[in-house]
Structure 1
Amino acid sequence: MKTIVHKADSRGFANHGWLQANHSFSFAGYYNPEKVHFGALRVLNDDVIAPKMGFGTHPHDNMEIITIPLKGVLKHRDSMHNAWQSVVPGEVQVMSAGTGLQHSEINGSNDEHLGLFQIWIIPNKQQVAPRYDQKVFEESERKNKLQTLVTSIDENHEGSLKIHQDAIISRIDLDKGKAFQYQLKSAQHGVYVMTIYGAVNLSDNVLETRDAIGVSETDSFEIHAEEDSSLLFIEVPMEF
Protein backbone atom coordinates (compact mmCIF):
# COMPACT_ATOMS: atom_id res chain seq x y z
CA MET A 1 0.00 0.00 0.00
CA LYS A 2 1.27 3.45 -0.97
CA THR A 3 0.31 6.45 1.16
CA ILE A 4 0.96 10.18 1.16
CA VAL A 5 -0.04 12.27 4.18
CA HIS A 6 -1.10 15.91 3.86
CA LYS A 7 -1.47 17.53 7.29
CA ALA A 8 -4.02 20.33 7.59
CA ASP A 9 -1.40 22.99 8.28
CA SER A 10 0.60 22.03 5.17
CA ARG A 11 -2.13 23.23 2.83
CA GLY A 12 -1.86 26.39 0.81
CA PHE A 13 -3.70 29.30 2.43
CA ALA A 14 -5.06 32.52 0.97
CA ASN A 15 -6.69 35.31 2.98
CA HIS A 16 -8.69 37.54 0.67
CA GLY A 17 -10.62 39.18 3.50
CA TRP A 18 -14.03 38.02 2.25
CA LEU A 19 -12.58 34.56 1.48
CA GLN A 20 -10.44 32.31 3.66
CA ALA A 21 -9.24 29.50 1.38
CA ASN A 22 -7.25 26.36 2.15
CA HIS A 23 -5.88 24.54 -0.90
CA SER A 24 -4.98 20.83 -0.71
CA PHE A 25 -3.51 21.11 -4.22
CA SER A 26 -1.92 23.87 -6.26
CA PHE A 27 -4.54 26.49 -7.06
CA ALA A 28 -4.58 30.17 -8.09
CA GLY A 29 -1.62 31.86 -6.34
CA TYR A 30 -0.58 28.72 -4.47
CA TYR A 31 1.79 26.37 -6.26
CA ASN A 32 3.55 23.32 -4.84
CA PRO A 33 5.10 20.97 -7.44
CA GLU A 34 4.53 18.04 -5.07
CA LYS A 35 0.83 18.89 -4.70
CA VAL A 36 -0.55 19.39 -8.18
CA HIS A 37 -3.07 16.54 -8.18
CA PHE A 38 -3.83 13.09 -6.79
CA GLY A 39 -4.68 10.99 -9.82
CA ALA A 40 -7.67 12.63 -11.52
CA LEU A 41 -8.39 14.73 -8.40
CA ARG A 42 -7.18 18.22 -9.29
CA VAL A 43 -8.64 20.52 -6.62
CA LEU A 44 -9.88 20.21 -3.05
CA ASN A 45 -10.51 23.68 -1.64
CA ASP A 46 -11.78 24.25 1.89
CA ASP A 47 -13.37 27.72 1.69
CA VAL A 48 -15.00 30.06 4.20
CA ILE A 49 -16.86 32.95 2.55
CA ALA A 50 -18.10 36.09 4.31
CA PRO A 51 -21.81 37.03 4.33
CA LYS A 52 -23.16 38.38 1.03
CA MET A 53 -19.80 37.79 -0.68
CA GLY A 54 -18.70 35.22 -3.26
CA PHE A 55 -17.37 34.44 -6.69
CA GLY A 56 -18.78 36.60 -9.48
CA THR A 57 -19.65 35.23 -12.90
CA HIS A 58 -16.68 33.37 -14.38
CA PRO A 59 -16.13 30.62 -16.97
CA HIS A 60 -15.18 26.94 -16.78
CA ASP A 61 -14.76 24.21 -19.37
CA ASN A 62 -13.86 20.51 -19.39
CA MET A 63 -13.90 20.00 -15.63
CA GLU A 64 -16.17 18.14 -13.21
CA ILE A 65 -16.92 20.45 -10.27
CA ILE A 66 -18.45 19.17 -7.04
CA THR A 67 -19.45 21.42 -4.13
CA ILE A 68 -20.26 20.18 -0.62
CA PRO A 69 -21.63 22.92 1.68
CA LEU A 70 -20.71 22.41 5.34
CA LYS A 71 -22.44 25.42 6.92
CA GLY A 72 -24.51 28.37 5.75
CA VAL A 73 -26.33 28.86 2.44
CA LEU A 74 -24.70 28.70 -0.99
CA LYS A 75 -26.47 30.53 -3.83
CA HIS A 76 -25.65 29.31 -7.35
CA ARG A 77 -26.52 30.67 -10.79
CA ASP A 78 -25.17 29.57 -14.18
CA SER A 79 -25.62 30.09 -17.90
CA MET A 80 -28.00 27.14 -18.01
CA HIS A 81 -30.34 28.63 -15.37
CA ASN A 82 -31.52 32.21 -14.90
CA ALA A 83 -32.72 31.83 -11.30
CA TRP A 84 -30.50 31.62 -8.22
CA GLN A 85 -30.54 28.15 -6.64
CA SER A 86 -29.83 27.47 -2.95
CA VAL A 87 -27.54 24.64 -1.86
CA VAL A 88 -27.36 23.94 1.88
CA PRO A 89 -25.55 21.49 4.20
CA GLY A 90 -26.86 18.01 3.54
CA GLU A 91 -26.94 18.70 -0.19
CA VAL A 92 -24.24 18.15 -2.82
CA GLN A 93 -23.92 20.04 -6.10
CA VAL A 94 -22.29 18.76 -9.32
CA MET A 95 -21.54 20.62 -12.50
CA SER A 96 -20.02 19.27 -15.70
CA ALA A 97 -18.43 22.28 -17.43
CA GLY A 98 -17.87 20.44 -20.71
CA THR A 99 -17.94 22.71 -23.75
CA GLY A 100 -18.10 25.74 -21.48
CA LEU A 101 -20.37 27.63 -19.11
CA GLN A 102 -20.48 30.66 -16.84
CA HIS A 103 -21.49 30.55 -13.19
CA SER A 104 -21.61 32.53 -9.96
CA GLU A 105 -21.35 31.21 -6.38
CA ILE A 106 -22.14 33.49 -3.43
CA ASN A 107 -22.94 33.35 0.25
CA GLY A 108 -26.71 33.63 0.40
CA SER A 109 -26.76 34.78 4.04
CA ASN A 110 -26.64 38.35 5.32
CA ASP A 111 -24.98 37.41 8.61
CA GLU A 112 -23.58 33.85 8.56
CA HIS A 113 -20.32 32.67 7.03
CA LEU A 114 -20.51 29.99 4.34
CA GLY A 115 -18.21 26.98 4.61
CA LEU A 116 -17.77 24.48 1.79
CA PHE A 117 -15.54 22.01 0.01
CA GLN A 118 -15.03 22.56 -3.70
CA ILE A 119 -13.68 19.58 -5.63
CA TRP A 120 -12.46 19.52 -9.23
CA ILE A 121 -12.02 16.20 -10.99
CA ILE A 122 -10.44 15.92 -14.44
CA PRO A 123 -13.05 14.32 -16.75
CA ASN A 124 -12.61 11.25 -18.94
CA LYS A 125 -14.64 12.88 -21.73
CA GLN A 126 -13.94 16.26 -23.31
CA GLN A 127 -16.42 18.72 -24.81
CA VAL A 128 -19.54 17.16 -23.29
CA ALA A 129 -22.78 19.11 -23.01
CA PRO A 130 -22.73 21.16 -19.78
CA ARG A 131 -24.98 19.86 -17.03
CA TYR A 132 -25.95 20.68 -13.45
CA ASP A 133 -27.54 18.71 -10.61
CA GLN A 134 -27.91 18.77 -6.84
CA LYS A 135 -29.31 16.33 -4.33
CA VAL A 136 -30.06 15.94 -0.61
CA PHE A 137 -28.16 13.24 1.28
CA GLU A 138 -29.54 12.45 4.73
CA GLU A 139 -27.02 12.58 7.57
CA SER A 140 -28.54 9.45 9.14
CA GLU A 141 -27.57 7.43 6.06
CA ARG A 142 -23.83 7.79 6.76
CA LYS A 143 -23.89 6.88 10.45
CA ASN A 144 -21.17 4.19 10.73
CA LYS A 145 -21.75 3.24 7.08
CA LEU A 146 -20.57 4.52 3.74
CA GLN A 147 -22.84 6.97 1.93
CA THR A 148 -22.14 7.31 -1.79
CA LEU A 149 -22.59 10.84 -3.11
CA VAL A 150 -21.11 10.87 -6.62
CA THR A 151 -20.34 8.16 -9.21
CA SER A 152 -19.63 7.88 -12.93
CA ILE A 153 -22.36 8.84 -15.37
CA ASP A 154 -21.55 5.57 -17.15
CA GLU A 155 -22.58 3.45 -14.15
CA ASN A 156 -26.07 2.44 -13.12
CA HIS A 157 -25.73 3.43 -9.47
CA GLU A 158 -29.06 4.63 -8.11
CA GLY A 159 -29.18 7.54 -5.71
CA SER A 160 -25.85 9.21 -6.52
CA LEU A 161 -25.04 12.31 -8.51
CA LYS A 162 -23.15 11.74 -11.77
CA ILE A 163 -19.91 13.04 -13.28
CA HIS A 164 -17.85 12.24 -16.37
CA GLN A 165 -15.10 10.25 -14.65
CA ASP A 166 -14.72 6.78 -13.16
CA ALA A 167 -14.71 8.26 -9.67
CA ILE A 168 -16.57 7.77 -6.40
CA ILE A 169 -17.13 10.44 -3.74
CA SER A 170 -18.52 9.25 -0.43
CA ARG A 171 -18.80 10.13 3.26
CA ILE A 172 -19.02 8.31 6.57
CA ASP A 173 -19.59 9.46 10.17
CA LEU A 174 -17.90 7.08 12.61
CA ASP A 175 -18.55 6.82 16.33
CA LYS A 176 -15.52 6.71 18.60
CA GLY A 177 -14.13 3.18 18.73
CA LYS A 178 -15.71 2.08 15.45
CA ALA A 179 -13.68 0.61 12.58
CA PHE A 180 -14.47 0.68 8.87
CA GLN A 181 -12.97 -1.29 5.97
CA TYR A 182 -12.76 0.72 2.73
CA GLN A 183 -12.72 -1.32 -0.49
CA LEU A 184 -11.26 0.32 -3.58
CA LYS A 185 -12.95 -0.15 -6.93
CA SER A 186 -9.85 -1.41 -8.76
CA ALA A 187 -6.06 -1.64 -8.62
CA GLN A 188 -5.93 1.40 -10.92
CA HIS A 189 -7.73 3.58 -8.40
CA GLY A 190 -6.54 5.55 -5.38
CA VAL A 191 -8.56 7.31 -2.72
CA TYR A 192 -7.93 10.67 -1.07
CA VAL A 193 -9.31 10.63 2.47
CA MET A 194 -9.94 13.84 4.40
CA THR A 195 -10.95 13.98 8.05
CA ILE A 196 -13.71 16.59 8.09
CA TYR A 197 -13.61 16.51 11.88
CA GLY A 198 -12.43 14.14 14.60
CA ALA A 199 -9.41 11.82 14.69
CA VAL A 200 -8.85 8.47 13.00
CA ASN A 201 -6.02 5.98 12.61
CA LEU A 202 -5.23 4.69 9.12
CA SER A 203 -2.19 2.44 8.70
CA ASP A 204 -0.59 3.90 11.87
CA ASN A 205 -1.21 7.45 10.67
CA VAL A 206 -3.32 9.53 13.06
CA LEU A 207 -5.39 12.01 11.04
CA GLU A 208 -7.07 14.85 12.87
CA THR A 209 -9.47 17.54 11.64
CA ARG A 210 -8.72 18.48 8.00
CA ASP A 211 -5.71 16.15 7.79
CA ALA A 212 -5.74 14.01 4.64
CA ILE A 213 -4.08 10.91 3.23
CA GLY A 214 -3.84 9.58 -0.31
CA VAL A 215 -3.97 5.78 -0.50
CA SER A 216 -3.17 3.73 -3.62
CA GLU A 217 -1.72 0.39 -4.74
CA THR A 218 -4.00 -1.60 -2.45
CA ASP A 219 -7.41 -3.21 -2.65
CA SER A 220 -8.58 -2.14 0.83
CA PHE A 221 -7.60 -0.53 4.10
CA GLU A 222 -9.07 -0.13 7.59
CA ILE A 223 -9.85 3.05 9.49
CA HIS A 224 -10.26 3.20 13.27
CA ALA A 225 -12.05 6.16 14.86
CA GLU A 226 -10.08 7.55 17.81
CA GLU A 227 -13.01 9.89 18.49
CA ASP A 228 -16.32 10.74 16.82
CA SER A 229 -15.24 11.52 13.27
CA SER A 230 -16.52 12.44 9.82
CA LEU A 231 -14.61 11.43 6.68
CA LEU A 232 -14.69 12.38 3.01
CA PHE A 233 -13.47 9.84 0.43
CA ILE A 234 -12.57 10.88 -3.13
CA GLU A 235 -11.69 7.78 -5.17
CA VAL A 236 -10.25 8.43 -8.63
CA PRO A 237 -8.24 6.71 -11.37
CA MET A 238 -4.53 7.26 -10.74
CA GLU A 239 -3.82 7.31 -14.49
CA PHE A 240 -6.09 9.47 -16.62
Structure 2
Amino acid sequence: MKFDRYIFHARLLPALTIAIPVVLAVSPWLPSEIFYSKGIAGQAAKLGLSGSIAMAMAYVLGQLSRGLGARLEERLWKEWGGRPSTVFLRHRDPSLGARQKLDLHARIRQINPDLHLPAPEEEAEDPVEADHCYERVGSWLRGKTRDAKQFPLLFEDNVAYGFRRNLLALRPYAFLASGVGVVSGMWAFMLAADWLAAVIGSTLIGLYASHNSIADVRRQSEKYTRSLFDALDRLDHQGPARRRPPRRPRGRPSNEDAA
Protein backbone atom coordinates (compact mmCIF):
# COMPACT_ATOMS: atom_id res chain seq x y z
CA MET A 1 0.00 0.00 0.00
CA LYS A 2 1.55 3.29 -1.15
CA PHE A 3 1.84 5.65 1.80
CA ASP A 4 0.88 9.30 1.28
CA ARG A 5 -1.14 11.98 3.02
CA TYR A 6 -4.46 10.68 1.73
CA ILE A 7 -3.65 7.15 2.88
CA PHE A 8 -2.69 8.40 6.33
CA HIS A 9 -5.72 10.61 6.96
CA ALA A 10 -8.44 8.73 5.09
CA ARG A 11 -7.47 5.12 5.82
CA LEU A 12 -5.00 4.83 8.70
CA LEU A 13 -6.62 7.32 11.07
CA PRO A 14 -10.05 5.63 10.87
CA ALA A 15 -8.35 2.25 11.38
CA LEU A 16 -6.80 3.54 14.61
CA THR A 17 -10.29 3.59 16.15
CA ILE A 18 -10.00 -0.21 16.13
CA ALA A 19 -6.28 -0.61 16.72
CA ILE A 20 -5.95 1.70 19.74
CA PRO A 21 -8.67 0.08 21.91
CA VAL A 22 -7.29 -3.39 21.09
CA VAL A 23 -3.80 -2.33 22.17
CA LEU A 24 -5.22 -0.66 25.29
CA ALA A 25 -7.09 -3.85 26.12
CA VAL A 26 -3.84 -5.85 26.06
CA SER A 27 -1.68 -3.21 27.72
CA PRO A 28 -2.73 -3.80 31.37
CA TRP A 29 -1.57 -7.40 31.13
CA LEU A 30 1.93 -6.55 29.93
CA PRO A 31 4.15 -6.03 33.00
CA SER A 32 6.84 -3.41 32.52
CA GLU A 33 9.41 -5.94 33.80
CA ILE A 34 9.36 -7.76 30.46
CA PHE A 35 11.14 -4.74 28.99
CA TYR A 36 14.09 -5.37 31.32
CA SER A 37 13.45 -2.10 33.11
CA LYS A 38 11.23 -1.00 35.98
CA GLY A 39 9.61 2.28 36.88
CA ILE A 40 9.32 5.11 34.36
CA ALA A 41 11.72 3.54 31.87
CA GLY A 42 9.70 0.33 31.78
CA GLN A 43 6.43 2.23 31.38
CA ALA A 44 7.94 4.31 28.58
CA ALA A 45 9.12 1.20 26.75
CA LYS A 46 5.70 -0.36 27.21
CA LEU A 47 4.00 2.77 25.85
CA GLY A 48 6.35 2.91 22.87
CA LEU A 49 5.72 -0.72 21.99
CA SER A 50 1.96 -0.26 22.33
CA GLY A 51 2.03 2.74 20.01
CA SER A 52 4.10 0.88 17.43
CA ILE A 53 1.73 -2.09 17.51
CA ALA A 54 -1.27 0.23 17.12
CA MET A 55 0.25 1.88 14.04
CA ALA A 56 1.17 -1.50 12.53
CA MET A 57 -2.37 -2.75 13.09
CA ALA A 58 -3.80 0.43 11.57
CA TYR A 59 -1.61 -0.01 8.50
CA VAL A 60 -2.93 -3.54 7.98
CA LEU A 61 -6.50 -2.47 8.72
CA GLY A 62 -6.18 0.34 6.19
CA GLN A 63 -7.15 -2.04 3.40
CA LEU A 64 -10.21 -3.12 5.37
CA SER A 65 -11.03 0.56 5.85
CA ARG A 66 -10.92 1.19 2.12
CA GLY A 67 -12.99 -1.86 1.18
CA LEU A 68 -15.72 -1.29 3.76
CA GLY A 69 -15.77 2.41 2.91
CA ALA A 70 -16.33 1.67 -0.78
CA ARG A 71 -19.19 -0.71 0.02
CA LEU A 72 -20.79 1.86 2.31
CA GLU A 73 -20.37 4.51 -0.36
CA GLU A 74 -22.24 2.46 -2.95
CA ARG A 75 -25.13 1.94 -0.55
CA LEU A 76 -25.28 5.61 0.39
CA TRP A 77 -25.22 6.74 -3.24
CA LYS A 78 -28.21 4.50 -3.96
CA GLU A 79 -30.06 6.02 -1.02
CA TRP A 80 -29.14 9.56 -2.15
CA GLY A 81 -30.24 8.94 -5.74
CA GLY A 82 -26.80 8.66 -7.32
CA ARG A 83 -23.27 9.97 -7.15
CA PRO A 84 -23.36 13.57 -5.85
CA SER A 85 -21.74 15.08 -8.94
CA THR A 86 -24.31 13.32 -11.12
CA VAL A 87 -27.19 14.41 -8.89
CA PHE A 88 -26.04 18.05 -8.85
CA LEU A 89 -25.93 18.18 -12.66
CA ARG A 90 -29.52 16.98 -13.10
CA HIS A 91 -31.97 19.69 -14.09
CA ARG A 92 -34.60 18.15 -11.81
CA ASP A 93 -32.38 18.27 -8.72
CA PRO A 94 -32.90 21.36 -6.50
CA SER A 95 -29.40 21.41 -4.95
CA LEU A 96 -28.46 24.21 -7.35
CA GLY A 97 -30.75 26.91 -8.68
CA ALA A 98 -32.00 26.61 -12.27
CA ARG A 99 -29.99 29.63 -13.47
CA GLN A 100 -26.88 28.46 -11.63
CA LYS A 101 -27.23 25.00 -13.15
CA LEU A 102 -27.58 26.33 -16.69
CA ASP A 103 -24.48 28.46 -16.17
CA LEU A 104 -22.61 25.42 -14.86
CA HIS A 105 -23.56 23.37 -17.91
CA ALA A 106 -22.51 26.20 -20.20
CA ARG A 107 -19.09 26.51 -18.55
CA ILE A 108 -18.49 22.77 -18.90
CA ARG A 109 -19.41 22.89 -22.60
CA GLN A 110 -17.10 25.86 -23.11
CA ILE A 111 -14.12 24.11 -21.51
CA ASN A 112 -14.74 20.73 -23.13
CA PRO A 113 -17.06 20.88 -26.17
CA ASP A 114 -16.85 17.09 -26.54
CA LEU A 115 -18.99 16.61 -23.45
CA HIS A 116 -22.73 16.47 -23.97
CA LEU A 117 -24.99 17.87 -21.25
CA PRO A 118 -28.65 17.11 -21.94
CA ALA A 119 -31.25 19.84 -22.07
CA PRO A 120 -34.13 19.62 -19.56
CA GLU A 121 -36.35 18.04 -22.21
CA GLU A 122 -33.76 15.38 -23.06
CA GLU A 123 -33.25 14.54 -19.40
CA ALA A 124 -37.00 14.20 -18.83
CA GLU A 125 -37.34 11.95 -21.88
CA ASP A 126 -34.44 9.61 -20.98
CA PRO A 127 -33.12 10.17 -17.43
CA VAL A 128 -30.92 7.07 -17.52
CA GLU A 129 -29.03 8.20 -20.62
CA ALA A 130 -28.80 11.70 -19.16
CA ASP A 131 -27.15 10.27 -16.05
CA HIS A 132 -24.59 8.52 -18.25
CA CYS A 133 -23.71 11.91 -19.74
CA TYR A 134 -23.41 13.47 -16.28
CA GLU A 135 -21.24 10.59 -15.08
CA ARG A 136 -18.90 11.17 -17.97
CA VAL A 137 -18.68 14.86 -17.04
CA GLY A 138 -17.89 13.96 -13.43
CA SER A 139 -15.26 11.43 -14.47
CA TRP A 140 -13.60 13.97 -16.78
CA LEU A 141 -13.64 16.70 -14.14
CA ARG A 142 -12.19 14.47 -11.42
CA GLY A 143 -9.45 13.38 -13.80
CA LYS A 144 -8.55 17.00 -14.56
CA THR A 145 -8.38 18.03 -10.90
CA ARG A 146 -6.32 15.27 -9.25
CA ASP A 147 -3.22 17.44 -8.83
CA ALA A 148 -3.22 18.32 -5.13
CA LYS A 149 -0.84 21.24 -5.70
CA GLN A 150 -3.05 22.90 -8.28
CA PHE A 151 -6.29 22.15 -6.41
CA PRO A 152 -5.35 22.10 -2.70
CA LEU A 153 -8.81 22.94 -1.33
CA LEU A 154 -10.41 20.22 -3.42
CA PHE A 155 -7.82 17.74 -2.20
CA GLU A 156 -8.49 18.72 1.42
CA ASP A 157 -12.22 18.21 0.93
CA ASN A 158 -11.62 14.80 -0.62
CA VAL A 159 -9.35 13.74 2.26
CA ALA A 160 -11.97 14.87 4.78
CA TYR A 161 -14.65 12.92 2.92
CA GLY A 162 -12.51 9.78 2.78
CA PHE A 163 -11.85 10.03 6.51
CA ARG A 164 -15.54 10.42 7.42
CA ARG A 165 -16.67 7.71 5.01
CA ASN A 166 -14.18 5.14 6.25
CA LEU A 167 -14.69 6.09 9.90
CA LEU A 168 -18.41 5.49 9.50
CA ALA A 169 -17.80 2.17 7.74
CA LEU A 170 -15.56 1.00 10.59
CA ARG A 171 -17.86 2.23 13.36
CA PRO A 172 -19.33 -1.17 14.34
CA TYR A 173 -15.82 -2.61 14.68
CA ALA A 174 -14.68 0.48 16.60
CA PHE A 175 -17.56 0.00 19.05
CA LEU A 176 -16.62 -3.66 19.48
CA ALA A 177 -12.94 -2.85 20.03
CA SER A 178 -13.83 -0.06 22.48
CA GLY A 179 -16.07 -2.44 24.42
CA VAL A 180 -13.26 -4.95 24.67
CA GLY A 181 -10.93 -2.23 25.91
CA VAL A 182 -13.36 -1.06 28.60
CA VAL A 183 -14.06 -4.62 29.81
CA SER A 184 -10.34 -5.37 29.93
CA GLY A 185 -9.72 -2.17 31.88
CA MET A 186 -12.46 -2.92 34.42
CA TRP A 187 -11.14 -6.42 34.88
CA ALA A 188 -7.67 -5.00 35.46
CA PHE A 189 -9.16 -2.58 38.01
CA MET A 190 -10.64 -5.47 40.00
CA LEU A 191 -7.24 -7.17 39.99
CA ALA A 192 -5.42 -3.97 40.99
CA ALA A 193 -3.57 -3.75 37.67
CA ASP A 194 -3.09 -0.69 35.43
CA TRP A 195 -6.60 0.04 34.16
CA LEU A 196 -7.08 3.78 33.72
CA ALA A 197 -5.73 4.15 30.17
CA ALA A 198 -7.72 1.17 28.87
CA VAL A 199 -11.04 2.40 30.27
CA ILE A 200 -10.71 6.10 29.50
CA GLY A 201 -8.95 5.67 26.14
CA SER A 202 -11.40 3.06 24.86
CA THR A 203 -14.39 5.10 26.02
CA LEU A 204 -13.12 8.23 24.25
CA ILE A 205 -12.48 6.30 21.04
CA GLY A 206 -16.01 4.86 21.14
CA LEU A 207 -17.51 8.32 21.70
CA TYR A 208 -15.43 9.77 18.89
CA ALA A 209 -16.55 7.08 16.45
CA SER A 210 -20.20 7.59 17.42
CA HIS A 211 -19.99 11.32 16.71
CA ASN A 212 -19.60 10.75 12.95
CA SER A 213 -22.96 10.14 11.21
CA ILE A 214 -24.37 9.54 7.73
CA ALA A 215 -25.45 13.19 7.67
CA ASP A 216 -21.84 14.25 8.30
CA VAL A 217 -20.62 12.06 5.43
CA ARG A 218 -23.27 13.50 3.11
CA ARG A 219 -22.44 17.10 4.04
CA GLN A 220 -18.77 16.51 3.36
CA SER A 221 -19.54 14.76 0.08
CA GLU A 222 -21.65 17.71 -1.07
CA LYS A 223 -18.95 20.13 0.04
CA TYR A 224 -16.44 18.27 -2.11
CA THR A 225 -18.88 18.31 -5.04
CA ARG A 226 -19.27 22.07 -4.86
CA SER A 227 -15.49 22.46 -4.66
CA LEU A 228 -15.19 20.18 -7.70
CA PHE A 229 -17.43 22.43 -9.76
CA ASP A 230 -15.67 25.54 -8.41
CA ALA A 231 -12.47 24.10 -9.90
CA LEU A 232 -13.94 24.84 -13.33
CA ASP A 233 -12.79 28.45 -12.83
CA ARG A 234 -9.16 27.32 -12.84
CA LEU A 235 -9.72 24.97 -15.78
CA ASP A 236 -11.39 27.81 -17.67
CA HIS A 237 -8.24 29.90 -17.33
CA GLN A 238 -6.25 27.07 -18.89
CA GLY A 239 -8.30 27.36 -22.06
CA PRO A 240 -10.61 24.93 -23.86
CA ALA A 241 -9.72 21.27 -23.94
CA ARG A 242 -8.33 19.86 -27.17
CA ARG A 243 -11.04 18.38 -29.28
CA ARG A 244 -10.86 14.58 -29.46
CA PRO A 245 -13.18 11.94 -30.84
CA PRO A 246 -15.71 11.09 -28.11
CA ARG A 247 -14.92 7.90 -26.25
CA ARG A 248 -16.74 5.91 -23.65
CA PRO A 249 -15.29 6.13 -20.13
CA ARG A 250 -13.56 2.94 -19.06
CA GLY A 251 -14.39 1.29 -15.74
CA ARG A 252 -16.07 2.62 -12.66
CA PRO A 253 -14.86 6.00 -11.38
CA SER A 254 -12.44 5.77 -8.48
CA ASN A 255 -14.06 5.20 -5.09
CA GLU A 256 -11.45 7.50 -3.56
CA ASP A 257 -13.47 10.53 -4.70
CA ALA A 258 -16.47 11.98 -2.94
CA ALA A 259 -18.50 13.03 -5.97
- If the TM-score is normalised by the length of the shorter chain, which range does it land in? under 0.3
- Greater length-normalized contact order (CA 8 Å, ≥ 6 residues apart): 2
